[in-house]
Structure formats: C-alpha cells, structure tokens
Chain A
Amino acid sequence: MILIALIAWPFVAGVAAWIAGRRRPHVARWVSVLAMGAGLLALAVVWIVKAPDFALSGHGPFVASVHVAWVPQLGISFFVAADGLSLVMVTLCYALGLLAVLSSWREVTTRVGFFHFMLLWTIAALVGVFTALDLFLFYFLFEMMLVPMFFLIALWGHERRVYAAVKFFLFTQIGGLLMLVAILALYVIHGRQTGVYTFDYLQLLGTHLSMATATWLMLGFFAAFAVKLPAVPLHTWLPDAHTQAPTAGSLVLAGLLIKIGAYGMIRFMVPLFPQAAFRAAPVFMGLAVLGILYGAVLAFAQRDLKRLVAYTSVSHMGFVLLAIFAWNTLALQGAVLEIVCHAFSTGALFAIVGLMQERLHTRDMDKMGGLWLTAPRMGAVALVFALASLGLPSLGNFVAEFLILIGSWRVSEPATVLAAFGLVAATIYSLWLIQRVFQGRETPAVTMPDLTLREGVMLAAMAAPLLWLGVYPQPLFNAVRPGLAALQQRAVRGAPPPSSAVLLPPPTTRAAPTGSDAGAVSMSGDAQ
C-alpha cells in the first residue's frame, strides 16, 4: 500500500498546489515542499524498516508489491512493486522533486500553482514508472508524463522553449509508440503460447521467442529507451530540451526522465530479450562509446553554459549504456551509482546555471569571467560539482565510472579503453567551464550576488550524497544487489541457448543470486 500512496501522493498534492496557487503563489510552493518532504520522510521510514530485507533473498527481490485487476478483459492489472533498485529510483524522484521545487522558488513567477501541479504530476508519473511491473501500466505512465513535462518546458522555459518542448514530445512519442507495438507483439505471442493474455512482466519473462522476433521486439524497446537515455544518434532533442527548460525542468529531465531509459533497459529490455540483447551488445556498446566521446567533444564546443552541461549528460549516459550491455555485477552496480550521482551532480550544475541566469540574464560563457571575485561561494560550489562530473576520487561519480570501466573491461577491452578517454575529455570540459566562468579576466560590467542561504542549503544537500557515495557506497550496493542479481539470473537463464552460441558456457551453473559474476562470464563469452 505504501507504493500506491507514494504514487498517488504527488497527484493529490499537485491538484492541491494548483488550487492553492490560484490565490497565493507562495502556498503552492509550500504545499509542494511539504508534499515532497513528507514523501521523503515516508521513504526514510521504508528504508530503515525494510533495510534488513535487502540482504535476504528468500522473500524474492520485491520488498513491496500491489496487484489489482484493472482491465481484466485485456489482462491489464495495476501491478506495482519495488525492489532495491526501484526504491532507489523512487527516493531519487522525491529528492529531486524537492530540489526542483526549491530551485524554482524565485525563478517561476507566473502561473505558479499550475507550474507546481505539472511538476508534481511529472514526479508522480515517474514514481509509477519506476515501480510498475505491468507493461501496460509502465507504458501508460511513461507516456503520461510527457504532457506535464511538455508544459513545463513550453510554458516556463527560455527563448526557444516551444521548439524544444515539441521536439522533446515528438522524439519520445515515436520511440514510445514503437515500444508499444513491441509490447503488444510480446503480449500476443505470449498469449498464443500459453493462452494467457497478460501484461504482467513476471509472466512475460518466460515467453519463448525466436531470435529474429526477439531482435525486432528488443529494437522496439530500444527505440523508446535509447531516445530517453539518450543514445547518440537519437540524442538531438536533449540539448534543446535541457537548455530551454526552466531549472526545475532541467533537474527533472537530467535527474529522472533520462534515467527511465537506463532503468527500462535494466528492468525490461535485457531480461525480456536476453539473447537478442547480448547478440546486439557490441553494436550498442559501440554506440555507448560514441556517445561518451561525442558528448564530451560537443560539450567542449559550447558557448551556452547550459548547453554544455546538457552535452555532458550525453557523455555520462554513454557510460550507463556501456555498463548495461556489459551486464555484469560490477558494471550494473556502477550504472546504478552513476544514475544516482549524475542526477545530483548534473542537477546541481543545472541549478547553478539557473541561478546565474537569474542574476546575469545570460547563459553565454563569453560574457562571463572572473565571477569568483564577486561570488566566491557559488564558484566553490560549482567547482565541487564540476569535479564530481569529471570523476574526482572521493566523489560518487568516480566510483561509478570506475566500476563501469572495470565491469566493461571483462566484456570488451577496446570499448573500455575508448570510454576511458571520455574521462579525460570530462576533465577538460569541466575545468574549462570553471576556468572560463569563474576565473580568467573579470568582466567589468558584471557583478553577481553570491548564493543566498536557501540556495546554499539546496546545493549543499546535493553535494552531500555525492560525497557520501564517493566514500562509502556500500549501503547503496547492498540495497540494489538482490534486485540486480535476480535480473542477471533471468537474463542468463531465462533464454534458450541460441544455435550459434558455441562460445556460450552453460550459464546456470555459475549464476548465484548474489555477488558472483556469472553474468559477466557468460557475457564475455558471447561478446567475443
């Protein structure tokens, strides 16, 4: 029931904020802060109470689940469940939701109630997406969140907001519709085989598919998730959407929305079509490397500060894609850690850019310089997040990318080597950013007020998890490991051995539920 409450709560709070905001904008802000804060508190209780469960795998990997028939004629049910991975994502949703509200405190001044309504509905749909185990429900929420997100960009964004919003909407929509066709094809095939027409993910996992069919269906899912992630040829919506969105929108986009792509691949795509995914892994890892390098190079080439940060997302998400197709324990844990850390580090950078735009009314780096003198606190904070982004040890991103590289080394050495160059590029663009904006020659016309208390607290709250995860990431790994192990087991065992896979070692013998690297072993066999 806690899950239903967590999904329904922002919906309700959103409506309340809208109504309250019609008269007094400030009430809408406070309602939203309280809603997100209360959700975080509830989640904290869940984490504390349920924490021992993550160590046990006897109860199955799900710590909470709800299963209610919704449209029984079509085998649709309201099926939500959370394992450690989902719970991490849900917590991230509420945390970033809170930060998004705080970061738009001064930025959003028009239609405040409506803004918080849209923001909270996006968060609610996201919470649903990260817990849905019914493919229909997943798709339903996946698509539903586009509307509030569209409004967030189109109404409160910057100069070219309508263009960016529509582009974002269309890209996601076509990817989503291809996934819908794939979902329905899977549903029909499963129904033909077993006589049970259902969208229940756990039942669909067992569907037998020919290699060709599985590949087509996997591509359908990949279309949706690769657009979201984004993987390189499909990434062009991202710089526009991230740049034009208001700060809260950029936070939610970079921190949560694009993570659906990664989550969807880990949760749905690879486990549903393991053989097809593994066979295509070299291609996708190639795309991942391309994304890492291309994103980094383009980030370096930007004059628009926000666009720079947007392109770094493309680069960082390349690491996540690489990890997913390496598909072993180390890489996947690294991917989850990268998801969390990127949400905070890039989110914070977006927030800082937002604060600067509020003060300077520009995002053009050529018009900045020497800002450290007038705003030393902001410069220091920006430096912390820039260092996180380049992967400085002791901050979470380093651990994540390091794990990803170790994990992918076992699968593909060339890809790993090339990906490692991405870290070098990240160092360049991150330091370049600091150098151009905060150091260098002072622009005489520019004086910038430093951080206020609210802003400082907000940014500190974003730095804290990075530091924590950089020094002691073990609790996070403990939480997600059972869930990931279960998925890894499915993705190895669930598929019939393909005729061509002579190199594939018998997978079942090695696949232990926790810790061991069975997935990595069989994967490396397949990929070489």
Chain B
Amino acid sequence: MTAAGVVTLLPFIALTLSAVVVMLAGTFHTSHRLTVGLTLGGLAWTLAMLPVTAARGGRQVTELLLLDDYTLFFIGLLVLTTAGVVLLSYGYLERRESHPHDYYTLLLLATLGGATLVASTHFASFFLGLEVLSVSLYTLIAYPRLHADFIEAGVKYLVLAAATAAFLLFGMALVYAELGTMSLNGFALLHVTGGGAADTSLLVGGFVLIIVGIGFKLGVVPFHMWTPDIYQGAPAPVTAFVATVSKGAMVALLLRYFRGVSLNPHDTVWIVFAAIAAASMIAGNLLALLQSNVKRLLAYSSIAHLGYILVAFLAVGRTAAVAVGFYLVAYFVTTLGAFGVVAELSGAERDADRIDDYRGLAARRPLLAATFALVLFSLAGIPLTVGFLGKFYVVNAGARSQLWWLLIVLVATSTIGLYYYTRIVVAMYVEQPQALPSAPRPARLGAIAGSRASDAVLIVVAGLVLFLGIYPAPLIRLLEHVVAGLP
C-alpha cells in the first residue's frame, strides 16, 4: 500500500484508533462521561477525515476497498447515526450498568465493520466487514448481561448470523469456482452484460446463497424471523443500531453492486427480488398489526420499510438510486428517533416496550410524545415529514419503471401500516396514563445528564424529520452527486 493509500484510508484509521483509545481508556476506570466523550471525539475525527479523503478523489485502495464519494457519503451517514446511538446509550446505560466502557469500543468496531462493508469491492472485504459488524453486535445485544432477555437475544443472533454467514461464504465459494474472481465488480458486470445468472447452475446456486446472506442482514421476508426477537430482546439503543447501521450498510452495498439485476425485469433474479419486496411489505405490515409490543411492532415495520426500499432498488435509472439513498436517510433518521424515544422512556428494570407504557404520554411528557408522534407519522409517510418524501420518491422511481403491481402492493400495505402507527399515537394522546416501569427521570445527577444527551438526539431527529420533509432539495442534490458514479 502506498502513502497515498494510507491518506485515503484515514477515515478507517480514525475509526480503528478511536476504538483502541476507548478500549484503553476503559482500563483506567475513567468515568462513563469521559468514555462517551472519547467515543464522540473519535466519531467526529472520522467525520472530519471524510472531506480529506474526498478531496483526493475516488480511489481504490488495494483490491479490497474503494473510497469514492458514494462510500464516503454512506460512511458519513453511518458515523452520524452511530453518534446518535452513542448519545442514546449514555442515558440508557447510566441507568443500569456500572462499567459500560467496552460497549463503546464495540459500537465503534461495529461501525468500522459497516464502513468496510460499504467500501468493499471484494468478497474478502465484504465478508470481513460483515463479520466485524456481526461479532460486535453479538456482544452488544447481550451487553447488559444482568438480564436474561438480552443474553437470549444475543445468543439467538449469534446462532442465526453465524449460520447465514456460512451460507454467504459457500455462495461466494461457488461463484469463485465458476468465475475465478472474487471481485464484486466482476460479479456485478456478469449480471449487467450476461443477461442474468442463468448461465450455469453453480452461479445461480452461488447467487441464491449470497442472497440468503444479504437477505438475513436486511431482515426481509423470508429471512426476517430473527428481526422481531432481536429487536425486542436487544437494549433499545442497540436495536436502533441494528435497525439502521447494520441494515443500511448492506443496502448501500446492494445498491452499488446488485443494481445490475434491475436492468432485466424478466430475469429470475429480478423476480426473486420482486417477490422478496412484495412479501416483505405484506408480511411486515400485516404481522405488525398483531403486536402489542412497540419494539416488535417497529421490527415488523422495518421489515416493511426494507420492502419499500427494494421497490426503489428494482427500479431502473438514476432516480431510483437517489430514491434508495433518500429513503435510507429518511429511515435512519426516523428509526433513530423511534428507538430514541423507547430508550429515553426505558427504566432500569425493563425497556418501555409495551404499548401500554405509552398511554397518556402526551400528558406526562408532551414534547417527547410529540416527537414520537412525528416520527411515527414519518414512518407512515404523512406529509411534512421526511418519511413522506421518501415514500414519494420510491413511488416516483417505481412509476418511472412501471412497476405497477409493486406500487399497488406498496399503497395497500402502507395503508395497513398507518393503522398500527396510529394505535401508538392514540395510546399516547387519547388513552389514560398508566404507571411506568420506573420513574421517567431518575434522581441521580448522571442520569439526568444522560437524558439531556438523548433529548439532544431527539431534538435533532425531530428537526431533521421536519426540515428534510419540507426542504429536501439540498439532500437530493448531494445524493445525485453521490450516485453519479454508480453503474
């Protein structure tokens, strides 16, 4: 690797060094507050390195990583979201853990994994990124180890993720055996030029296995089984991380290399993706109707949202790529907000995840309830919120590619979706309050500071939901620039 390569890799170096620094600082029994500060500092440093790399132009570093504007944009998105998760975790962990230092190290490592995934151009870096992300998540999910729920969720995730990683590896091996290359570029080109994967059975088999691996990470039907359990079992800030960074990194990878499939609507692979999209929208929204647990409800809703993203993914053209990017940003912001509210309300005993916990919230914490309502309406795609524009963009992309059936499914299912979002809103605004799992604002000083941190996140989220919902032009301009380099 050349010196220029090292400079290009600065964001990765910054993330890695931050993880090491936070880990070392933990050994000196530093305060929780300092650890959080160091973590945020590391993330800010990473963020500051992005323009430095961008100024040098898109650049391939070894065979493994490509750092062009597209990669850098998504790394920026992941890092910013992680910063939100860190702030949410502060108050949340303050209430229940005495030494949460390793948590932040793991969070930084997971982000590094996500960033590697976005930048990868090779099966090796793809797998490496995926595993760094997954292994960190196993621990993060089970981190508040005094509670059996968390450990159960962590183990569940470990088993399932490890199994699908094996699928993915085997698929890669098959593709390598047939093509003789591990480069994702060669892989994508095959689909653009070869008119589909129907050339040989080995390739089709390999492709299907890779889809299993990707589909698991995205949590789309029929690989969605883990989603509700993990969402419910994981600590709320970690759930936010799983829902955003972990899924988003995979979508970014998918958008870069697998958009070839969208060029051929009669291809088997295309039909498989369309079926996955439709099934995710239908199953996600219908199953969410049955939930009385907010985290499970949001899990099924996220399955449906990934289905919407896939609709845009299947559409052709630059607009579709922008639509995916825009929807992803909208989804990140709103999901972070939704789990932020859950985290903020959660006490030391358990997470505030029953709909009953939200009864009469508007009377007790009007601003928090308003934020949650705003975020839920954004998820439902009501105007004045970023979620509406995201959905609008997806329908726009679908209409341009004449995916009428998928759009009809989207329309019908998102109406169903509105129903369960309004259930929570009704609980907050109409129904009478109930006793909370614990007092919303513990008396200890640190916890109040932690609440301030998550308040800050929620204020930023609410502001972004409204700002991007009313004036999306700057973000669209950025996204158009970013996707310009895609095939």
Contacts and interface: CB of A to CB of B under 8 A. Distances in A.
Interface in A274-300: none
B480 A73 contact: yes
Interface in A38-81: 70-74
Contact of B415 (A74, A151, A162, A174): A174
A73 B407 contact: no
B430 interface: yes
Interface string B383-414: 11000100010011001100010011001101
Given A71-B473, A74-B476, A162-B430, A177 B377 contact: no
A185 B407 CA distance: 11
A180 B383 CA distance: 12
Which of B383, B412, B477: most chain A CB closer than 10 A? Answer: B383
B383 A73 contact: no
Interface of A: 70-74, 136, 139-141, 143-144, 146-147, 150-151, 154-155, 161-162, 165-166, 169-170, 173-174, 177-178, 180-181, 184-185, 187-188
Contacts of A165: 422, 426
B271 interface: no
A259 B321 CA distance: 38
Contact of B399 (A169, A170, A181): A181
Given A143-B382, A184-B399, A73 B412 contact: no
B473 A72 contact: yes
B412 A144 contact: no
Contacts of B419: 166, 170
A315 B415 CA distance: 28
A188 B418 contact: no
Q: 4 tightest CB-CB pairs across the interface, nearest first?
A: A184-B399, A177-B411, A144-B383, A174-B415
B429 interface: yes
B430 A180 contact: no
A155 B384 contact: no
Nearest to B397: A184
A181 B407 CA distance: 8
B57 interface: no
Given A141-B383, A169-B418, A185 B472 contact: no
Contacts of A177: 411, 414-415
B482 to A, nearest CB: 13
Contacts of B426: 154, 162, 165-166
Contact of A144 (B384, B392, B411, B415): B384
Contacts of A136: 392
A408 B363 CA distance: 53
Contacts of A147: 377, 382, 384
Which of A70, A162, A165: most chain B CB closer than 10 A? Answer: A162
Nearest to B429: A155
Given A71-B472, A143-B388, A155 B430 contact: yes
Contacts of B476: 71, 73-74
A73 B399 contact: no
A73 B430 contact: no
A184 B399 CA distance: 6
Interface residues of B, number: 29
A188 B400 contact: yes
B197 to A, nearest CB: 29
A169 B399 CA distance: 25
Which of A136, A140, A143, A177: most chain B CB closer than 10 A? Answer: A177
Contacts of A154: 426, 429-430
Contacts of B414: 177
A72 B415 CA distance: 29
5 contacts: A71-B476, A72-B473, A154-B429, A154-B430, A187-B399
Contacts of A187: 396, 399
Nearest to A178: B411
Nearest to B422: A166
Interface SS, B side: helix
B430 A170 contact: no
A494 B367 CA distance: 51
Nearest to A189: B399
B412 A174 contact: yes
Contacts of A70: 471, 473
A154 B426 CA distance: 8
B422 A140 contact: no
A141 B412 CA distance: 21
B383 A143 contact: yes
A141 B414 CA distance: 19
Given A147-B384, A188-B399, 6 more contacts: A71-B476, A73-B480, A155-B430, A174-B415, A181-B395, A184-B399
A173 B415 contact: yes
Contacts of B429: 151, 154-155
Contacts of A166: 419, 422, 426
A70 B384 CA distance: 14
Nearest to B389: A71
B398 to A, nearest CB: 8
Which of B377, B400, B411: most chain A CB closer than 10 A? Answer: B411
B383 A140 contact: yes
Contacts of B396: 74, 184, 187-188
A73 B477 contact: yes
Contacts of A72: 473
A154 B422 CA distance: 10
Interface string B442-477: 000000000000000000000000000001110011
Contact of A170 (B384, B407, B418): B418
Nearest to A181: B407
B418 A173 contact: yes
A161 B408 CA distance: 30
A140 B480 CA distance: 23
A181 B415 CA distance: 14
A162 B423 CA distance: 9
A161 B422 CA distance: 13
A71 B412 CA distance: 27
A51 to B, nearest CB: 34
Contacts of B471: 70
A397 to B, nearest CB: 34
Which of A136, A155, A184: most chain B CB closer than 10 A? Answer: A184
A72 B471 CA distance: 11
A235 to B, nearest CB: 18
A147 B477 CA distance: 29
A162 B430 CA distance: 8
Contacts of B480: 73
Contacts of B377: 147
B415 A180 contact: no
A74 B473 CA distance: 9
Contacts of B384: 140, 144, 147
Interface string B189-203: 000000000000000
A40 B151 CA distance: 63
B383 A184 contact: no
Nearest to B427: A162
A181 B411 contact: yes
A165 B430 CA distance: 11
B178 to A, nearest CB: 39
Contacts of B477: 73
Given A162-B430, A169-B422, A144 B473 contact: no
B273 to A, nearest CB: 21
B319 to A, nearest CB: 9
B367 to A, nearest CB: 12
A73 B411 contact: no
B324 to A, nearest CB: 15
A139 B392 CA distance: 10
Contacts of B418: 169-170, 173
Contacts of B415: 170, 173-174, 177
A184 B383 CA distance: 16
Contacts of B382: 143-144, 146-147
A377 B404 CA distance: 58
Nearest to B373: A147
Contacts of A178: 411
A3 B407 CA distance: 35
A73 B473 contact: yes
